[in-house]
């Protein structure tokens, strides 16, 4: 039997930690040891005293305002970090990029703590676990083309259905921001390069860094970043898919 892997979950919500620990125990028994910490200092103490295979962390800070995920990365330059937070990407992008997080997941968008638990188990390197890829979100199969993905884009938060309007090919296309602008203009008829809501509030360089494959070519899975664009909500995934839907208050046709 392979040795148990260890996952550290740091969150100031005791209910979230209890639910996380329960999910690990029910799903994986003794296969994964779950450590929990309710603040950043306690998290660092556990990280220093245990061999941790994966970290799940909310956006907590130490007394000197250093983000926990940044401090954790400085202590361990290879441990996978799932940044599981209620905060929008723009508010945490600098910390997430400095910490080189493996995943950024908004709590409002996640398919429950169970999905995060499964991803943590994968990143921790537990044997016999099939990798969590696009197949889990796209009706059990990878989506290599826009045609395959239409109608299957995840709709895990309330609102109208998503329409995939384009795809960014990481191996061919130059700038993610250019792809976003082009497909939004084609879909909405609005010049995205001149539209105030898009490029005044969206750091496309940071977005590309977050979503593009890592330096060794390994793709990032299951990351979705959303932002408003006029009457629309836009979602861009690490698969390169760009999807839009009308904001709930405007209706959807």
Distance CA(181)–CA(162), nearest Å, equals 18
Instruction: Decide: 242 and 183 in contact? Cβ < 8 Å.
Output: yes
Helix axes 68-75 and 40-49, enclosed angle (nearest 10)? 20
Which has the closest alpha carbon to 66: 86, 41, 91, 103? 41
**Looking at per-residue confidence, does 125 or 63 come out higher?**
63
Q: How far is CA 182 from CA 175, 189, 194, 229, in A?
A: 11, 10, 12, 14
pLDDT in tens, 188-217: 777 766 665 566 667 788 888 888 887 766
CATH topology of domain 5-123: Rossmann fold (3.40.50)
Q: What is the mean pLDDT of residues 50-65?
A: 94
- What are the extents of the domains in the chain? 5-123, 141-250
Instruction: Please choose, from the candidates 56, 8, 57, 64, the residue with its C-alpha nearest in 3D space to the C-alpha of residue 36.
Output: 8
Determine contact, residues 245/232, Cβ cutoff 8 Å: yes
Share of the chain above pLDDT 70, in %: 74
Beta pairing partners, 32: 5
Tens of pLDDT along 2-26?
557 899 999 999 888 888 888 887 7
Whether pLDDT at 157 is above 60: no
Q: Report the Cα 75 to chain-centroid distance in Å.
A: 22
């Amino acid at each position: 039997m392979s040795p148990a892997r260890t996952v550290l979950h740091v969150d100031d919500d005791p209910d979230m930690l209890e639910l996380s620990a329960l999910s690990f125990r029910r799903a994986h028994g003794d296969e994964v040891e779950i450590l929990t910490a309710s603040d950043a200092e306690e998290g660092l103490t556990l990280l220093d005293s245990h061999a941790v295979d994966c970290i799940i962390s909310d956006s907590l800070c130490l007394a000197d305002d250093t983000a926990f995920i940044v401090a954790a990365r400085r202590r361990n330059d290879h441990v996978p970090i799932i940044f599981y937070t209620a905060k929008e990407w723009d508010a945490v992008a600098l910390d997430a990029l400095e910490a080189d997080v493996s995943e950024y997941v908004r709590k409002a968008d996640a398919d429950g703590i169970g999905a995060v638990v499964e991803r943590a188990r994968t990143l921790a390197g537990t044997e016999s676990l099939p990798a969590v890829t696009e197949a889990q979100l796209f009706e059990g199969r990878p989506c290599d083309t826009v045609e395959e993905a239409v109608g299957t884009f995840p709709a895990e938060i309330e609102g109208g259905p998503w329409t995939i309007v384009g795809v960014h090919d990481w191996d061919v296309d130059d700038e993610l921001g250019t792809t976003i602008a082009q497909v939004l203009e084609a879909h909405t008829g609005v010049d995205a390069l001149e539209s105030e809501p898009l490029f005044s509030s969206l750091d496309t360089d940071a977005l590309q860094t977050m979503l593009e494959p890592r330096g060794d070519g390994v793709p990032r899975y299951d990351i979705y970043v959303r932002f408003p664009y006029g009457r629309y909500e836009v979602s861009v995934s690490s698969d390169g898919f760009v999807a839009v839907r009308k904001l709930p208050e405007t209706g959807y046709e």
